Amino acid sequence: MRYDLNLLPVFVALMEERNVSRAAERLGITQPALSNALNRLRETMRDPLFIRERYGMKPTQMAEALAPVIQSALAGIDDAVRGQQDFDPAQSTRMFTIASNSYVEYVLMPTIVARLRERAPDVRLRLIPFANDPTEAGAMSGDTDLVLGRIVDAPDNLVVQHLMDDGLACMVRTDHPDVHDTLSRAEYEALKHVNVLPPGGRLRAGLFVALEQKEIKREVAVSVTHFLAVPEMIAATDYCTTLPARISHHLARDPRLKVVPAPVDFGTFPVQLAWHVRYRHDPAHRWLRALIAEMTKDVVEATS
């Protein structure tokens, strides 16, 4: 039986987006064109494939069975084509879209960008926000080149690589009247705190879970959405904050601030790199992934 291969990306887009408008926008075609392609798919497969529901399109049993086969076939074609392409970082003008959380932007991106300027001066980066859902970041569809942060419940079509771990530390103002070089559990519980709550992020969940496990109480006086909002608040008050250790030590370059160990071990959290399987053998992606891994190692060594 002969198949129109042009219809396969339509199937994948509908399978991943579950929405005709978003699938059409992703493919760069009109909704009528996508609907026409879907009708041709249905005729070819002799199955409705997607049933319209109140909140989108629900795949049929046959569509669910076909999805991994078609996605694997398209990824194999992408691998074969990209594997034959050359990539010269010194001459490339390619733009990479990276979804990253605020931790990565603050701790890793300056080093990565500096090295990119040396090795690939005309390569451009576009950073978009990443909280914890690779689907929302465009990673599952392959629209986003890379995801940097904590990858939770990664779908099967994402490859995930561990880069580093970080822990948590506390920060107060240098002349804090009640905190010196250490911070006891009782002192920690007696203080008021500034908490960082990135929109949709999991830092809050991770810290709150650790506090619950250790049965430590904490009075949060202020919640902010980014690490950069913290230093001035801490410098002007007797509040305390609990932040990733590498961010704490960086912010403590400000002489008004000092880092003290957390009263108990709150554990560590991972920083990971993820990409769609279709980019597995793309020479440009392999180069960029290797650069990021190299720069992360340098950052870890410099801050350990």
What residues pair up with 33 in beta bridges, in sequence order?
none
The Cα–Cα gap between 117 and 119 comes to: 6
What residues pair up with 149 in beta bridges, in sequence order?
272
As a dihedral over the C-alpha atoms of residue 68, residue 74, residue 78, residue 80, rounded to 10 degrees, the angle is 90
Q: How much of the chain exceeds pLDDT 70, in percent?
A: 90
Contact 193, 217 (CB under 8 A): no
| Of 302, 279, 301, 304, nearest in space to 289 by CA | 279
Query: Whole-model pTM?
Result: 0.70
Q: What is the pLDDT of residues 31-57, one digit of tens each?
A: 999 999 999 999 989 999 999 887 788
Q: What is the pLDDT of residues 83-112, one digit of tens each?
A: 556 789 999 988 999 999 889 999 999 999
Q: How much of the chain exceeds pLDDT 90, in percent?
A: 54
Domains of the chain are 5-82 (1.10.10.10), 95-161+270-303 (3.40.190.10), 168-260 (3.40.190.10)
Residue with the two structure tokens 């090795």 = 119
Q: What is the pLDDT of residues 51-62, one digit of tens each?
A: 988 778 899 999
